[in-house]
Structure 1
Amino acid sequence: MPTTGQVSARRDPAPLLWSLTAAGWVALLALEIVPGAHPAHPAEAVAGLAAGPLRPAALVLFTGGWLVMVAAMMLPTTVPMARMFTVVSSRQDAAGPVRAAFFAAYLAVWLGFAVVALVLLVAIAPLLHQVPHGIGLAAALLLAGTFQFTPLKQRCLTLCRDPAAFLFTRYRRGVAGAWSVGTRHALSCLGCCWALMLIMFATGVADLVWMLGLTAVMVAEKTARWGRRLVRPVGVVLLLAGIAVALVGTGPPAHLH
């Protein structure tokens, strides 16, 4: 199996992925410094969507915002796999379409998760207006902390940490094979990170401090050699944070803010 060190400068996807990541953070920073550019509570984030039929313009805005956040938070975790797949797929005649299918599979998985998140947010928006402001965050922290200790988290991280082993057992030639590999690996990434991403929604969707912290955790868990030793301590911290928010961090219902 080739190594990522064999990626030529011309074919290396890492510069493009890091550029898209930087662009995502720049866009998020721009939203952060513009007053009223993002909501302070998830219920407010979907208030317009929950008030009536889902309008195309609202869906476009939600999808665009989601893609910006995915670019900022998730692309750094996919760089090792993207580089390895580029090396392996270079042996095929139609390498361009094959790589396009591979990356399109990632996009499809994360857009699918966005649709599910949107439906759930719209469904629970009325409830979020009636509960204390910190309850949602406490629940998300406790859920994410508990998930850190589950076999599913460990299994997904194992698949994500070793792109060479993943491709050795699952790689198939052709566009269909690339789509299958991309989908499976994207689902593994989603399995690693979905609970941590819920914290992002609970903090108000675009809180940069939380996003930076969550991004650092996800990148370290999936790409650092010592990432395996980080999982349980992060789980403990999340559980303690969830308990603390539940005890002292609650406020009046969101509609009274």
Structure 2
Amino acid sequence: MSESQNVIEIKDLDVRYGWGRHSVQVLHGVSLNVAAGCTVGVVGESGSGKSTLAKTLVGTLKPTRGTVMIDGVNVSSVRGADRLKLRRKVLQMIPQDPFSSLNPRHTIGQALAEALDPRHADVKKHRSVIAEWLERVKMPAEAMSRYPHEFSGGQRQRVAIARGLIPEPTVVIADEITSALDVSVQAEILSLIAGLRQELNLTMVFISHNLAVVRQVSDEVAVMYQGKVVEHSPTAELFNNPQHPYTQSLLRAVPGTPGFSIDPGITEHISHENRAIA
């Protein structure tokens, strides 16, 4: 695809933690483009730099070198109101742990109203839109009057997805959003994401350590190893003909290996979910 179609353009990205001689470089010259309407899965073992990349994309970490352009905006250069606008309307993150990211004193309706309109987080004013989004993530409209602790982990993740998508952002970053869920609930969430991707033509970076999950949801896959992108190609091509030795080793990994897995159970559950939806 041409560069004009790229919503995300990452070029020569270095990121360090700490200062001076005690600093540690975590990302090394990362370059990655994501086209409009494309989901790129970012996969790698713990410590490979996936979460650091996500934090740099949303602007919570500043690169020591290189640029992150999202929808034509240099993420590290925006300040004040422009930064808030970027975080709300252009870029949203769906977190790994929705329970810690949801205010326990706010109802689900308040959480969604605030995401939709931070200045006027009025549930009554936005009731119809909130109800519509709850329905989209397969939650009942009456959930808006309840609190996060009243729901299961899978239900809270559905709320987190609705909260991330309700502002209709240009880009969505999903960071290990199924890792804390059991296999059957993971399958439900992945089927939900698949439907929303198609319905909304989402541009998404989907971060995971699980190859089976990434294979189900991604158009392309970027493999990270020791802070570098060592391979990036269409999903089918990467799984059928991996080029980098590290990618090859991941695909040979024994299911359930700590820190990385190819879980066939997820694929089976997802297939069942898709048949049920059809």
Instruction: State if a TM-score over 0.5 links the two structures.
Output: no
Shorter-chain TM range is: under 0.3
What TM-score does the superposition give when structure 1 sets the normalisation length? 0.26
What TM-score does the superposition give when structure 2 sets the normalisation length? 0.25
Structure number with higher helix proportion:
1
